[in-house]
A and B are shown apart, each in its own frame.
Chain A
Amino acid sequence: MKARFAPFWPPVVVGAIIVLGWEGVVNLFDIKEFLLPKPSSIVRALGDQWTPLREAGWETGKTAVVGLLAGVVMGALLALVISRFAWLRGSVTPLAVALNATPIIALAPIFNAWFGITDFRSNMAVVIVVVFFPVFINTAKGLTEVEPNQIELMRSLAASETTVLRMVRVPNALPFFLTSLRLSAPLSVIAAIVAEYFGGPQNRLGPFITQNASFSRYANAWAAIVVASAIGLALFAMSAVIEKVSMPWKQGDPAAT
């Protein structure tokens, strides 16, 4: 909320310092292109490689977005199921927290074995699992951590469990859910790229980066990173907009973060 009233120049200035400082340092110390390419070289590479980058970005973006949506839907659905059954909640939630602490990306080679090493589903499965856990854990928290008075009120009005879910738990969980969406949106792109390292179709950003890096064409690799960041940022921005629009009651609330 604070950002709405804050002047926009500080992030712009910091951004300019980063880019110009980078350019300046590379020039000043005569750092070799294969160690750290200049921002200007990266921009040039972006132009030269635009056709393959656009295709790779589109394909990787598709994996990330579809995986993100599937992971979000699965996480939210399981959270809904869990919220109805207390006995499940006691065992599933700690298990999810524990699994969330494991390096899920290491599952990529196993998914290759499951779905085939050149199959896009192997990459997508990694994205789904990476997105699933934070969404599930956060949504389950929002569905269960409801103000006790509100539950008592609904009970005193003879509301059914389903009504309580619909009128209290789901709206209460909405901010938790949307926060997890915003956090996992950029994660989905990173997960897709790392998964592509292990296998999957070749016309993607992950292989593009490794191939160019192995031929020491680092400016091209950096250009692919820029494309990946742009996709991640776009997903992040979209989630942030959804977050604002779908919770009108938070507009201008100083308590809302």
Chain B
Amino acid sequence: MTDPAIVASGIGKIFNRNSDNAVTALTDIDLSVEPGEFVSLIGPSGCGKSTMLRIFGDLISATTGSVEVFGKPASQARLDRDYGMAFQKAGLFDWRKVSANIELPLELAGWSKDRRAYRSQEMLSLVKLQDFGDNYPWQLSGGMQQRVAIARALSFEPKLLLMDEPFGALDEMTREHMQVELLRIYREAGTTVVFVTHSIPEAAFLSDRVVVLSPRPGRVHSVIDVDLGVRNEDTRESERFFRATTEIREALRSVEANS
């Protein structure tokens, strides 16, 4: 068997340690994610879900515990460029054209110019922005920019995609459309996704598993399996979708009641 995508054991995170305003953000997190799995992290504000994502991505280090990604320490996985990241703000570079933004990770990985150009064209059609490669980011709408950010995250086929509320700033219709797109891209690329969100329907629609976190300090409250099979726009009106959202909603309510 291949190594699991993520094995996090006993993770804790304390910010401003050794000072008066020390904050325990996470405590005792155990979680493993299988290759090819789509896992969402959901919970009230301040439950440390973004912190958790950043620890998985080796952007910040955990105070206690360890993270292994594909059988190696997270720091090694980062150096091996196993991660693709996308954030709530698209975070495109104003000074690069859309295609150059998508090519950024490829440039860092030392791809040749021709190969990069070919690849960015492929990615542009994947996110349905074929005609926008030569535009600057400001010429695109918020939803289009977010699609470019996702194309950038996927351009080098990272083994693990870490997404921090990437659709948080989009309107509802764009958001639902982007979810369908993301699932299509995810299936075609065959990657593993960890997805932070505030939205119950979004978690239910996208995920194989939803991890519900409780706040202060952040810990895993429960893990909910979701199996909606092949998903399309009709799925949102199905009985199974309703049951999944209800289950997540009730878990979140009990989190609220306990905190």
Task: Select the stretch in B28-36, B87-95, B240-248 that faces chain A.
Answer: B87-95
- How far is it, in angstroms, between the C-alpha of A156 and the C-alpha of B162 when the chains are bound? 10
| B187 → A minimal CB distance (Å) | 23
Task: Determine if B78 is an interface residue (Cβ-Cβ < 8 Å).
Answer: yes
Task: Determine if A62 is an interface residue (Cβ-Cβ < 8 Å).
Answer: no
Task: Determine if B73 is an interface residue (Cβ-Cβ < 8 Å).
Answer: no
Task: Determine if B136 is an interface residue (Cβ-Cβ < 8 Å).
Answer: yes
| B53 → A minimal CB distance (Å) | 10
A:107-130 near B, CB below 8 Å: none
Partner of B81, one of A152, A157, A247: A157
Q: Interface 1/0s, chain A 25-48, versus B by CB < 8 A?
A: 000000000000000000000000
User: B-side binding surface: helix, strand, loop or mixed?
Assistant: loop
Number of cross-chain contacts by CB at 8 Å: 54
Q: How large is the interface on B (under 10, 10 to 19, 20 to 34, 35 or more residues)?
A: 20 to 34
Q: Which residues of A contact B108 (CB under 8 A)?
A: 154, 157-159, 163
- How far is it, in angstroms, between the C-alpha of A145 and the C-alpha of B99 when the chains are bound? 25
Q: Is the CB of B93 within 8 A of A171?
A: yes
| B162 → A minimal CB distance (Å) | 7
Q: Is the CB of A152 within 8 A of B54?
A: yes
Query: CB-nearest residue of chain B relative to A251?
Result: B136
- How far is it, in angstroms, between the C-alpha of A127 and the C-alpha of B57 when the chains are bound? 49
Q: Which residues of A contact B136 (CB under 8 A)?
A: 249, 253
Q: Is the CB of A149 within 8 A of B87?
A: yes
Q: Which residues of B contact A158 (CB under 8 A)?
A: 78-81, 108
Q: Is the CB of B57 within 8 A of A153?
A: no
Task: Determine if B111 is an interface residue (Cβ-Cβ < 8 Å).
Answer: no
Q: Which residues of A contact B97 (CB under 8 A)?
A: 249
Q: Which residues of A contact B80 (CB under 8 A)?
A: 158
- How far is it, in angstroms, between the C-alpha of A168 and the C-alpha of B75 when the chains are bound? 22
Q: Is the CB of B85 within 8 A of A152?
A: yes
Q: Is the CB of A149 within 8 A of B59?
A: no
Task: Determine if B4 is an interface residue (Cβ-Cβ < 8 Å).
Answer: no
- How far is it, in angstroms, between the C-alpha of A152 and the C-alpha of B55 when the chains are bound? 12
Task: Determine if B105 is an interface residue (Cβ-Cβ < 8 Å).
Answer: yes
Q: Is the CB of A152 within 8 A of B87?
A: yes
Q: Interface 1/0s, chain B 165-199, versus A by CB < 8 A?
A: 00000000000000000000000000000000000
Query: CB-nearest residue of chain A relative to B85?
Result: A156
Task: Determine if B70 is an interface residue (Cβ-Cβ < 8 Å).
Answer: no
Q: Is the CB of A253 within 8 A of B138?
A: yes
Q: Which residues of A contact B162 (CB under 8 A)?
A: 156
Interface set of A (CB-CB < 8 Å, partner B): 147, 149-150, 152-159, 163, 167-168, 171, 174, 247, 249, 253, 255
Q: Can you spell out 14 A-B residue pairs with CB atoms less than 8 angstroms apart?
A: A149-B89, A150-B93, A153-B85, A155-B59, A156-B85, A157-B81, A157-B108, A158-B80, A159-B108, A171-B93, A174-B95, A249-B96, A249-B136, A253-B136
Interface set of B (CB-CB < 8 Å, partner A): 54, 57-59, 78-81, 83-85, 87, 89, 91, 93-97, 104-105, 108, 136, 138, 162
The 9 closest A-B pairs by CB, nearest first: A149-B91, A171-B95, A156-B85, A149-B87, A249-B136, A253-B138, A156-B83, A158-B79, A249-B95
